[in-house]
Amino acid sequence: MTDSNIDILLLRVNDLLTKPVYTSLEVYSKGNRIYLLKDTNSRIYILIVPQAPLNEIQSESLINFGYKELWEKVNYEKYIYYSEPSSFGQLIDNISSIFIEIFKVESERKWRYELNTGMAVLKDNKTPLLTASERLKKGKRKRSSLKILFNDITYSLALSVLIFIGLFSKNLIESFTIKISLVVFVISFVIVKIGRSMTKLEILSFGKKRFLSRGYSDYFNQIGFKKYGDRYKGEIQGFLVELIFSDLHKYMIIVYHREISWNRVLKMPKGKPFSSTSYNWTGMFYSQKMIKRRLSKEKIMNEAKDFVELIINQKIEKQHTANTQYSQ
């Protein structure tokens, strides 16, 4: 841990002690979170939520530091008395060792902090606080269940029912048989696959050509957005912004900004205002919004400006200066 991290941590903890009871200081880095809750009777309640469930060695190391395994491999807790100078010093040393030795966070990497009041709920864990990796898996499972519900097989079954109704209405068949059912389903499946593929390709091709056309390019260029491959890149109020043709139904707006805590991410308004808040492989943090594909170029830009305003209202800071240059 760098000297600046030590100094900042000391300042933040001292600041915590001046706040009302049940104020929480969150210290986090690379998805690992440590909550310090000012409790009654001169105590600090510590709750640890790693980036991913710990292995046996990591878990044992935390237990050796005096932490109790609250929820297996994902939540650990401990109390200390901040009225005792030795406990206060051990707290700082503990946090340093946990981040560097157990969570393997680079010593030169800066930590981030967030102070919140009214957080007594941290001590009342009826359910575990999920790690970052578990939240990601949960989101993927939810999307997978939707894919199972709306896939080629379900559409094929629906088409098969319609075909059977048509055959019965015209007295072409008298009863179901396994052979007839299989033949009708296979035919329906082939029709659905071909139909969906052709429709998607045609709409995607037309939509992408329109988005990257001279008319769109000239319009965005007048506002300072340059075309790079399949997207337009520019700046709105100092934030780096990208406009992308995403898929069959949507355009995508990406606004790059500074890293924010997972707590902030979870509190962001989801759905229409924010599709997601994450980071890409280069370590650039961004917020993303999906908008309808049928919007005109003027409405796309208005949506982008409104999205930047929303991010500013959420008090998210810019990651880059307005002079940052894009590279292809």
Predicted TM-score (pTM) of the model is: 0.46
Hunting for tokens 């900042």 — which residue is that?
8
- The answer to whether domain 214-313 has CATH 3.30.1460.10 is yes
236: left (phi over 0), alpha (psi -120 to 50) or beta: beta
**Chain centre to alpha carbon of residue 196:** 30
Tell me how far CA of residue 194 lies from CA of 185, 203, 249, 292, in angstroms: 14, 14, 19, 25
What pLDDT shows up at residue 246?
A: 76
Hunting for tokens 């509190």 — which residue is that?
267
User: Where is 92: in which H helix or E strand?
Assistant: helix 85-97
Same fold yes or no, 3-130 and 214-313:
yes
Hunting for tokens 């969150």 — which residue is that?
26
What DSSP string describes 167-208?
HHHTTS-SS--HHHHHHHHHHHHHHHHHHHHHHHHHHHHHHH
**Chain centre to alpha carbon of residue 270:** 10
Pairing type for strands 231-236 and 24-29 reads unpaired
Give the amino acid at 203. Answer: I
In this structure, what token pair is assigned to residue 207?
């939509």
SS3 (DSSP) at 112: strand
Contacts for 16 with CB less than 8 Å, ≥ 6 apart: 23, 25, 36, 38, 44, 115
What pLDDT shows up at residue 198?
A: 58
CATH of the domain spanning 3-130: 3.30.1460
Residues of the chain with pLDDT under 50: 1, 144-146, 148-149, 201-203, 281, 321-328
Q: Locate the domains of the chain by residue range.
A: 3-130, 151-211, 214-313
What pLDDT shows up at residue 327?
A: 41
SS3 (DSSP) at 244: strand
70 CB-side CA count, 13 A? 22
